[in-house]
Amino acid sequence: MAKQIIFIITLALTLGVFAYTVRRLYYFFRITKRFPIKNYAKRFWLMMNVSFLQTKIFRKPWIGFLHALVFWGFCVILLGSVEMIFDGLTGSERAFYMEGFFYKFIFASGDIFALIILFAIVVFIFRRLFLKIKRFSARELSHRNHIDAYVALSLILLLMVSLLAMNVFYCVENPVPLKGFYPISSFLAVYLKDMEHESAVILYELSWWWHILLIFLFANILPYSKHFHVFLSVPNTFFSRLDPLGKLPNMDTITKEIKLMMNPETAFATPESGTAVIERFGVKDVEDITWKNYFDSLCCTQCGRCSSVCPANLTGKKLSPRKIMMDVRARMNQKGPGIIKNGKDFDDGKSLLNNFINKEEIWACTTCNACAKECPVNINQPTLIVDLRRFLVMEESSAPSGLNLMFTNITNNGAPWQFSPEDRMNWAKDLKISCKYD
């Protein structure tokens, strides 16, 4: 009974902290703009392909396979964690136990995956410490980012150690009858067969509490960590853009302005008249992004695969698609609380564009979409970069000189090139093409 009371109090505190985090994120999402979601069946199969089959992660076969095993292992081990919570609430032991193959298969798989994940995490830590992989040491990654990575990996490692310890001492405590099948732990328990039963019981209880408290701690650290993708990667793939990567979305604000201009009742409206609403074109700050842009920033694993294939980044330019996502999250954390407290008119004198992301970065993008294609959780960086450019061009008339010349030519000549409109079809005069235009 005492164990149940302590567990319920601990669980309530955990859920309370998690609820605070969810509430905070909910208000941050309310700051952002809409992003329509359609075609649910196609999204479901995309999610199954990218998230559950881990297809994009296998582009780096060896390390991708290890990462996929970690993901699949967590999916299996999650069932055991749910059983532990149920046991803690009810005071039972192995509450989901049932005779037959299914229970034994699930928990045997969890026991094996615990060892596999333990091995994979050791490999991941070794790679970060000793192999000096370039994408793990880019200029946008601070000391705090590296500490964040090691903390998350260490917690996962401890979770697997505590799970194996719990299963081992359970096998020592209950050699017959044993609920479930634990191939790794049963093998290790043989070396502890001379342990006193009372000691095995105590060590099992300690391991049980160690493991469940680590789960609660891990769940509340993740939302503030780069490993938030553990929760968000699956829904993020479901919410992926379904358009071809090279297709840039139209601006709803522009469409709205054109419709207003074509309507005689609103064509000459002024802000004072109240019939026209002036909206910002493009993205300057976090209140201009869509909720999907913010979701992408939370889901970003900071793995650097996007930046490692970016042609601008590879040729030494300042653009890093990873940094764009990191900056969106950092800016929301900075300005979001002020907007929630003071309303959307709150201005702290800073902005996402210029203070976090500079013009040189966004104009370096070739919109080749290599970053979006490579991202293992289907983040789409180019659409946000283009929206940042749209603000510069349409709100501040700020663009590189070459583009400004093109804009002038389009205005004056109806084409990007600097020649008379009457000469637009000269290129086709010797071709067997019938061309008519006014």
62-90, pLDDT tens digit by residue?
999 999 999 999 999 999 999 999 999 98
Residue type, 317: K
Q: pLDDT grade, residue 101 (50/70/90)? A: confident
Give the mean pLDDT of the chain.
90
What residues have CB less than 8 Å from 267, skipping those under 6 apart?
260, 261
Give the residue, 420 or 270, on which the prediction is more confident.
420
Helices (H), 273-320: 291-299, 305-309, 311-314
Q: Cα(247)–Cα(250) distance, rounded to whole angstroms? A: 9
- What is the pLDDT at residue 268? 62
Q: pLDDT grade, residue 430 (50/70/90)? A: confident
Q: Cα(278)–Cα(161) distance, rounded to whole angstroms? A: 58
Residue 437 has pLDDT above 70, yes or no: no
Q: Cα(103)–Cα(90) distance, rounded to whole angstroms? A: 20
- What is the pLDDT at residue 270? 58
Identify the H or E element spanning 258: helix 252-262
Contact 374, 317 (CB under 8 A): no
Residue 433 has pLDDT above 70, yes or no: no
- What is the pLDDT at residue 44? 96
- What is the pLDDT at residue 379? 95
- What is the pLDDT at residue 373? 95
pLDDT tens readout for residues 241-294: 999 998 888 887 778 777 777 777 765 665 555 544 557 889 999 999 999 999
Kindly state the average pLDDT of the residues 405-417: 83
Q: Cα(58)–Cα(413) distance, rounded to whole angstroms? A: 49
Q: Cα(94)–Cα(87) distance, rounded to whole angstroms? A: 7
3-class secondary structure, 41:
helix
Dig out the tokens for 421 from the structure.
């409109």
- What is the pLDDT at residue 298? 96
- What is the pLDDT at residue 269? 61
Kindly state the average pLDDT of the residues 190-215: 93
Percent with pLDDT over 90 in the chain: 69
Residue 154 has pLDDT above 80, yes or no: yes
